[in-house]
A and B are shown apart, each in its own frame.
Chain A
Amino acid sequence: MQLTDFSFLFAFLPLSYLVYLLLVRQKIKTSTLNVYLLVISLLFYAAQGFSSLFILVFILLWNWFCAGAIEYDLTQRANPSLADGSALDPAENMEAPNLGSQTGAINPAGSIRAAKSAAGFHALPAARQTLWLCVGVNLLILLLYKYLPTWLAPFGFASRWISQFVMPIGLSFYMFSSLSYVFDVYNQKAKTCSLVNFGLFTAFFGRVIMGPIGHYAQFKDQLDDHPVTRRAKRYGAVLFLQGMFYKVMLADNLALIFAGLETNTSWLGTWLLAVSYTLQLYFDFMGYSRMARGLASLFGFQIPQNFDKPYTALSIQEFWRRWHISLTDWFREYIYIPLGGNRVSQSRWVLNLFVVWLLTGIWHGPTLPFFVWGILQGGLILAEHKLYGNALNKAPAWTRHLYVMVLVMISWTIFFSPTIGMAFARIGRMFFVGIEGFSNSQAMFYLVHGLILLAAAIFCATNLPKKATHWITVHVPLNKGLLGAFGYGLGLVICLAMLISQTSQAFLYTAF
């Protein structure tokens, strides 16, 4: 079930929400409300099939038990009243003071050195053993379902075995959310919670499929208290509708342009392909995230924003502070900082940087273009730091903006190309290498007839909508509430119309 499915919009959501409001009105306890929310989230996910649900439930149980075990071990070490034989190693607690963790929590990276010196896994304290075991099993599952099917495809027998593992939708997202819980418990930034609360945090139906990825330590307080205030309801509706507009009116239609131009080899066609993807990816992902946040708000939760006008950034570093914020936040908190972040030697820092960006690339997909894309981001950030950062800062804003957009579009071209060869061919064409003409009729067709769509998308990617709204507030004397309702209502009707037409095509040409 997707958030734009009619079965979600006109069956699941109104029904489950009305029941929830009823429960809230009856002053049901939050912990019971959470049980209800978890159940409906699992039902939502069960629409994908039982085998997918099985994997989700397994991940939930496994990570919860592991976090519980870790916390138990940590409290044991703090109070070694039980003779469990795990000796406190003083070296463990004396982390190199220049390593990044904010609160002096136990640092897995520093402990790696201790572990190495103490000869092997079994010498690690129990909490760390459990952590590695936990992460290991998670990674095994991720490997099995996401990476091996592609990596083993060329190998006859193995590929047949692996082909039975079909990746459940959202695996990358909810696994990372659940690992956030485990790491926060391990780093003692949070205490463990009930299985229900943890399950809700990870698998809330709004975000289980496409994020934003949860950060447990920042979210946990809401689990105990998430009142549905009037403001929260309104805000939720706003976000939900805005997200839908971005996804259905902009992203889905930009996808048509993208699909039409995939084989175009003219200069214009190649750039148009990159532009349409750049916009499509943003509005699709941002729209879905916004819908997720809107749903969360309807139920009283606040999820921080996942995108902050990334295409207004003036440097690649800034871009990555604005794009898929929950993911970069996760990598920074749980990989980059534990590795030492930037409070290490130069060469170590460069290593850290590339490790994080390579992993980011891998997270997005199992093929080479994703790895190259990830490394490229790391390289650009490095270059901005070391090579031309100062020059960049002094340059006029519009050149910086152009610089960012060109590099971003080149990056996305690598990202969406199925092979690295095609990616380079396309990039070449963007710079006149190997083009078949400056333009052709196909490219012109999509440009001319997609002009309004492209203009609207570019407009919405900037700060202009806010300014426009402000202008209207000041200059237009109509009742703002009604005007807004009318405008959004119109948008909603158009979205529903577009969603309906998507469903109609499926049946028309069933081959007999």
Chain B
Amino acid sequence: MKSMKSDRTPHITRFQKYLYTLLMTVLCLFMVLNLIVPDQLRSEVENRPLASFPAITLESLSSGKFARQFNDYVSDQFLGRNSLFHIDYLFRKLCGQREIDDVFLGKNALLQNPAQPKDGFPNSQVEAINAFASQTGLPATVLVAPSAASIQPGKLPMDAPVNEENSALDAVYNSLTTNKADVRQSLASHQNEYIYYRTDHHWTSLGAKYGAQALLESFGVTMNPDDFDSLKVSDTFEGTLANKTGAVGLQDDISICPDKYQTEYVVTWNDGSKTASIYNQDALKHKDQYQVFLGANQGLIHIETLSNSNENLLLFKDSYANSMIQFLLPYYRNIYIVDPRYFYEDIGYVMAAGNITQLAFVFSYNNFMTDPSLRDVLETQIAKDQAKAQSGAEISAEPPAQEQPSEQPASSQEQTDEKSDASEPSQSEDQPAQDEQPSEGNSSLEDTPESQPASDPSKNSAKSEAANLQSQTGSKRS
């Protein structure tokens, strides 16, 4: 048989005349452009660091890891990546798709599909809270904030297969021996208000207000909602859900709510610095504007106020409580805010030094049902207290070696500095997000000695004394 190669090729239609040119142009053009255009460090749309050119080692080549990393690199540094991400969202929406990666594309809003509680996990969480609260003997309230998907089902796309929250929440509230701030009814009655962000998984300041109201009520305090102003500080906020889906055309307003009586206060941050405001104006210039409330995630924050109250609150929280703090300021003398994901110190010490009179646990549904950090922190403390109780004065008598940071402060600052240069401070996302460093300050508050109010410590107490004096002489809030 004669082999006439060109005869083997089927005929192509007139439509297809220029396709070779199209394909080669696109491939070659973008290959060249990607080489020329310098690498980006970070994606603003996705709010994460972008891959850089991978290291070439024999091991990575032989295992195939280099090829995978190289692919990540080319994808991440692709010119026009953000636009393509948005095009993907628009096209899917156009074709009727209403769920992208566990986020529902609802009516003028994005709604996160709630997490499935990890098997048996909520029980252990509840047990730890119960044990901790009873051990301290203080009044305690737990508030688990439901997701928008539960409270505003009207915004979901039709028939959305939402993971149901109510049964898990009921089970949790029923087994808690502490007070409960079951905020579901209150939120549901306000569901047509702007209580959840359209592009972010957090509740708005308004939603947080209803949450604060419920929390304070559980301690017997009646909050007057009209005591707070509402100042819009942004109308261009695009949050985590927009990052996840590449959404366009949806934006949120952020409002801060200072109280009308202008209660004065001083905030001591994790790194020891102090400000007179919980709001972080700088955040509004960056992608994650939610950080305007209480800044980046950090282990411990102390707020001392000039309110009339004598109560000192220890609040365990995730980022949901960030926008709720502003409503608590007039009702507490001192608020100690602990984020268990970044807190490595001694809760017992904080409780003693801070003279805590009330405990609160404010978490989002997702974190409460899946994140073990709170349980870890509480269980560690419970174990310490039990050991202490058992061996009496023995432990406290023995002065342990001064707890040094396992990394020298200087070099660890370097480490965190280097890493932070390449990335912005960690987000206020609740999901244990990327491996970004938590706010730099952590390193200076190293392992405190086990149950000793020894010399290291939270310079917090020393500083807060000073702050107390200062504030009494009338430092103003910005």
Contacts and interface: CB of A to CB of B under 8 A. Distances in A.
Interface of A: 1, 5-7, 9-11, 13-15, 17-18, 46-52, 221-222, 225-227, 229-238, 240-241, 253, 260, 297, 300, 302, 441-442, 444-445, 448-453, 469, 473, 480-485, 487-489, 492-494, 496-501, 503-512
B401 interface: no
A7 B5 contact: no
B78 A5 contact: no
A10 B27 contact: yes
A442 B161 CA distance: 5
Contacts of B434: 507-508, 510, 512
Interface stretch (B10-18, B170-178, B327-335, B444-452): B10-18
Given A453-B95, A497-B88, 4 more contacts: A241-B19, A445-B159, A484-B16, A500-B78
Interface in B423-473: 431-435
Contact of B24 (A1, A14, A49, A488): A14
B178 to A, nearest CB: 28
Contact of B64 (A9, A49, A498, A510): A49
B19 A7 contact: no
B19 A234 contact: yes
Contact of B76 (A445, A494, A497, A503): A503
B161 A52 contact: no
A49 B62 contact: yes
B20 interface: yes
Contact of A13 (B27, B99, B431): B27
Contacts of B46: 504, 507-508
B21 to A, nearest CB: 8
Contacts of B28: 14, 18
A151 B61 CA distance: 31
A497 B431 CA distance: 26
Nearest to A226: B5
A20 B100 CA distance: 41
A297 B160 CA distance: 45
B85 A500 contact: yes
Nearest to B3: A221
Nearest to B341: A512
B15 A484 contact: yes
Contact of A449 (B13, B91, B97, B431): B97
Question: Interface of chain A, helix or strand or loop or mixed?
Answer: helix
A5 B100 CA distance: 21
Interface stretch (B65-73, B207-215, B414-422): B65-73
Contacts of B10: 235
A225 B3 CA distance: 9
A500 B88 contact: yes
Contacts of B393: none
B12 A7 contact: no
A9 B17 contact: no
Nearest to A445: B159
A288 to B, nearest CB: 17
Contacts of A499: 75
Contact of B161 (A260, A302, A487): A260
Question: Interface of chain B, helix or strand or loop or mixed?
Answer: helix
20 contacts: A6-B71, A50-B61, A51-B62, A232-B9, A234-B20, A236-B20, A237-B19, A237-B20, A444-B158, A445-B157, A449-B98, A449-B157, A450-B97, A452-B95, A452-B96, A480-B15, A492-B26, A503-B72, A511-B432, A512-B434
Contact of B18 (A1, A441, A485, A512): A485
Given A1-B71, A231-B9, A484 B18 contact: yes
Given A52-B64, A508-B46, A510-B434, A238 B99 contact: no
B243 interface: yes
A492 B21 CA distance: 13
Contacts of B14: 473, 480-481, 484
A420 to B, nearest CB: 28
Contacts of B88: 494, 497-498, 500-501
Interface string B133-165: 000000000000000000000000111110000
Interface in B360-411: none
Nearest to A447: B159
A7 B27 CA distance: 11
Contacts of B99: 260, 445, 449
Contact of A508 (B6, B48, B71, B96): B48
A229 B6 contact: yes
B5 A485 contact: no
A448 B98 CA distance: 10
A234 B16 contact: yes
A19 to B, nearest CB: 12
> Which 7 pairs show the lowest CB-CB distances between chains A and B?
A484-B15, A49-B64, A47-B67, A480-B14, A497-B88, A7-B71, A445-B159
Q: Give the interface residue-count category, chain B.
A: 35 or more
Contacts of B75: 5-7, 499-500, 503
Contacts of B12: 231, 234-235, 238
A210 B432 CA distance: 38
Contacts of A492: 22-23, 26
B87 A494 contact: yes
A4 to B, nearest CB: 10
Contacts of A512: 341, 432-435
Interface in B83-97: 84-85, 87-89, 91, 95-97
Given A13-B27, A235-B12, A510 B435 contact: yes
Given A484-B16, A496-B84, A497-B85, A48 B23 contact: no
Given A227-B6, A234-B12, A10 B432 contact: no
Contacts of A493: 84, 87
B435 A300 contact: no
A10 B26 CA distance: 9
A469 B12 CA distance: 12
A505 B101 contact: yes
Q: Which of A221, A448, A505, A507 has the most CB of B within 10 A?
A: A507
B19 A485 contact: yes
Nearest to B66: A47
A433 to B, nearest CB: 24
A449 B96 contact: yes
B244 interface: yes
Interface in B38-92: 46, 48, 61-64, 67, 70-76, 78, 81, 84-85, 87-89, 91
A14 B89 CA distance: 28
Contacts of B275: none
B353 interface: no
A423 B276 CA distance: 65
A237 B6 contact: no
B30 interface: yes
Interface in B214-247: 243-244, 246
B375 to A, nearest CB: 16
Contacts of B157: 445, 449
B34 interface: yes
B39 to A, nearest CB: 14
B158 A445 contact: yes
B118 interface: no
Nearest to A13: B27
A503 B69 CA distance: 12
A360 B159 CA distance: 41
Contacts of A13: 27
B23 A237 contact: yes
Nearest to B5: A227
A482 B10 CA distance: 21
A503 B45 CA distance: 14
A503 to B, nearest CB: 4
A114 B111 CA distance: 73
Nearest to B373: A512
Contact of A238 (B19, B78, B96): B19
